[in-house]
Amino acid sequence: MKSCQIVDLGLIGYANAYALQKRLVAARKADAVGDVLLLCEHTPVITQGRNGKREHLLVSENVLRQRNVEFYETSRGGDVTYHGPGQLVGYPILQLGAIRKDVVWYVRMLEEVMIRTTREFGICAEREAGKTGIWVPGEKKEFIRSSPRGEQPAEIAAEKLGAIGVHISRWVTSHGFAYNVSTDLRNFDLIVPCGIAGRKATSLEKLLGRAVNGKEVAPKMVRHFGDVFGLEIGAGTKEELLGMLEPREQMVALPA
């Protein structure tokens, strides 16, 4: 069984995490490091994927500055999303070619990891056809009046619990998933989440009606990640990871 090192970065700015991902991708392509899953929470940030539309950011950059929310354009797939404290973000840096060369399968399996994790909390999350991420039934709305039959229940739109946006180069993966544990959902009002109008984000804390800590969720997510991708999980630290990267990078930088 192939191994994968889990490294928890804690609370980290998006730019720093993105820079580390790029270093790891280069090292993974060169087989200088093995598979790695980075876990983290971000300081408040809105990111736009390479297929995203700027109009899905609903406020000006001045408003973002007032709210202390950063904005970055990224190389991942997908549209616009929000990251912030209380959200468990996972960045797998995998040599997918050694697992299965299938991008759609990879995205479905990231969904499966989040679905299985959610099930452990007694909540049934599902996929939606034509969309990425995982969804749960939305709150029931009040009845709407519809003639000639009188009152009819309004359609209940599913709410998004976990989002996915990935990038794959030479079958090495980067970016990944974002799972709302205790996220401040008000910040999703600044955007059209994932470019899907009329849909809301939700969180595990909101669904359970109690406080939930990311440390309660992360071990379950890691276990299911290993099971789904057939990887033996080992824990590492950021310092150990950087210690592996830096000598390799210095060797590459030396003149021939």
DSSP E strand stretches across 156-218: 159-169, 172-180
Contacts of 52 (CB under 8 A, 6+ apart): 73, 78, 79, 80, 195
Domains of the chain: 2-253 (3.30.930.10)
Catalytic hit among 4, 40, 124, 194:
194
Give the pLDDT confidence score for residue 211 in this predicted structure.
96
Long-range Cβ contact pairs of 235-238 (< 8 A, separation 24 or more):
235/5, 235/6, 236/5, 236/6, 236/7, 236/36, 237/7, 238/7, 238/9
- For the chain (256 residues), the mean pLDDT of every run of 10, in chain order, is 95 96 96 96 91 80 88 85 96 97 98 98 95 85 46 69 96 97 92 74 96 96 98 94 77 46
Tokens read off for 216: 């309660």
Give the pLDDT confidence score for residue 147 in this predicted structure.
43
194 is catalytic: yes
Longest dimension (CA), the chain: 81
Task: For residue 19, give the amino acid letter.
Answer: A
Give the pLDDT confidence score for residue 57 in this predicted structure.
84
Give the pLDDT confidence score for residue 107 in this predicted structure.
97
Give the pLDDT confidence score for residue 199 in this predicted structure.
79
CA distances from 145 to 137, 140, 148, 156 (A): 22, 15, 9, 15
Element (H, E) at 26: helix 14-29
pTM comes to 0.88
